[in-house]
Copies of this chain bind each other. A is one copy, B any other.
Amino acid sequence: MTKANTLTLKPLGINTYKEAVVYMRKDCPVCRSEGFEAPARVKVIHKNKIILATLNTIESDLLTPHEASLSTFAWEQLSASIGDEIQVFHPDHLNSLDHIRGKIYGHELNKDEIREIIKDVVNGSLSDIHISAFLASTGDDRFSEQEIFYLTESMIEVGNRISWHKDLIVDKHCIGGLPGNRTTLIVVPIVAAFGLTIPKTSSRAITSPAGTADTMEVFAPVSLDLNAMRKVIEKENGCLVWGGSVNLSPADDILIRIERALILDSMGQLVASILSKKIAAGSSHVIIDVPIGPTVKVRTTASADELKNYLEAIGKTLGIEVKTVFTDGSQPVGRGIGPALEAKDVLAVLQGDINAPQSLRERSIALAGQVLEFSPNVRKGTGYAVAEKILSSGQAWQKFQAICHAQGGLFEPPIAKHMRTITSKKKGTILAIDNRYLSRVAKLAGAPQAKAAGIKLLTPIGTKVNFGDPLFEIHAETKGELHYAVNFLSMDHEIFDIGEFE
């Protein structure tokens, strides 16, 4: 006898990112008998696994009435194969949704409630709609310090967690938003060369022309699993891997995606996001770089102070030492925008090139110095000098090469096939740069997918230019992408504010 509500799986290859979707004919026996219509939430059973999914109905011959399909995410969650049978039913009651409603109505959530929400975020029981309501309900600082603490704990519980057989595991993290701020690729080798353990994981670009993981990938593979990452650390004290491949905070990956759709930065979520990843990576001492400026994430010292207090207090409760460092976030760091162009800035700093961007070098040494002061062997106030020496002596460059080799590298940064120099149409001093538009041009040129593509900025703020002087270069791997970026420039956008000085 066949089981109830059974359909046969056919692949359609539809990627919805992390939303589980099941595709079924509107006139299939299951939709008809259960009264299912899009966008119902349904329970999908496959062998011994159960997920909740959103129903999209098919009104064409993509499927027969006895077939169903799944989005890529749902397909992976169920480890399904072509021709397998699934059963589809009405979903059970979701306790976590009760808790979210409770939060909407202003209740304080306890540990078990937050844990149940995070568990259901990760296993897909809560849809994007539910998660969005949860995040909105915690906005305006409606999450207490206690709740942020539970949130962080719960996010750690649902992911992998690394333990090291050492007491001092350091890390650094930057509250994003500042273009070209690739200090991580310089801080990690300095710290590792000194002898401290720094298991650094980074993200890829989401909306920017390059993330730290994208830039590192110019030099070496970054998609290492936990075991491979552990081996690199054991050999070289440090690593530079993509966080997505080690699954340290799967809840965070999902919550961040919804926050991005809402363009919402809730303080509680930001704190839990950072701390959960650091603690999951086994860190004991962490430096957090908080750039403050008009176009970055943290815009006022008041909100920087609030963030600092939460990070340090909740870090302490969770057993790690967090030190927050405020830095200048008023303009981009270095010259390159795009993976390979940023990689060249990093290379210049590591190799001691006299033309290396000083802003990148200075910031990296300062942050590395702060990290080094976690060591009992570095006196307070001397970290900067120790870091500077490791960098200028070439030890950091040696260590960087060793880390790349351990990760499966070291590659030469690629050079773009096509290049166009953009010149100034007037004489004057560069007063301001619209980083968002500059980033946009870099993306249109192909970054970060095309590693060599992007922008090389030639005139930072304060530069005096004459008519016809080069302002920046556009690099692209294909002629079409170069055209695309140049065409965008010809539209009505001023990237540079050039003052009319005599």
Query: Which residues in A have some Cβ–Cβ distance to B below 8 Å?
Result: 4, 11-17, 19, 23, 26, 29, 32-35, 37-39, 41, 56-60, 62, 71-72, 97, 100-101, 104-106, 127-130, 132-137, 139-140, 257-258, 261-264, 443-444, 446-449, 480-481, 484, 487
Contact = CB atoms under 8 A, between A and B. Distances in A.
Contacts of A57: 14-15
B481 A33 contact: yes
Contacts of A449: 32, 35
Nearest to A134: B136
A444 B23 CA distance: 21
Contacts of A133: 132-133, 135-136, 262, 264
Contacts of A127: 261
Contacts of A16: 38-39, 56
Secondary structure of the A contact surface, majority rule: mixed
A132 B140 contact: no
Contacts of A104: 136, 139-140, 264
Contacts of A132: 128-130, 132-133, 136
Given A129-B129, A136-B104, A263-B97, A17 B38 contact: yes
Contacts of A258: 129
A417 to B, nearest CB: 16
Nearest to A265: B101
A75 to B, nearest CB: 11
A37 B18 CA distance: 12
A35 B136 contact: no
A50 B459 CA distance: 38
A391 B97 CA distance: 46
Contacts of A443: 34-35
Contacts of A14: 23, 56-60, 62
Nearest to A445: B33
Given A261-B41, A262-B97, A60 B13 contact: yes
A487 B100 CA distance: 34
A242 to B, nearest CB: 15
A108 B71 CA distance: 39
Given A33-B484, A130-B262, A262-B130, A58 B136 contact: no
Contact of A60 (B11, B19, B35, B444): B11
Nearest to A446: B33
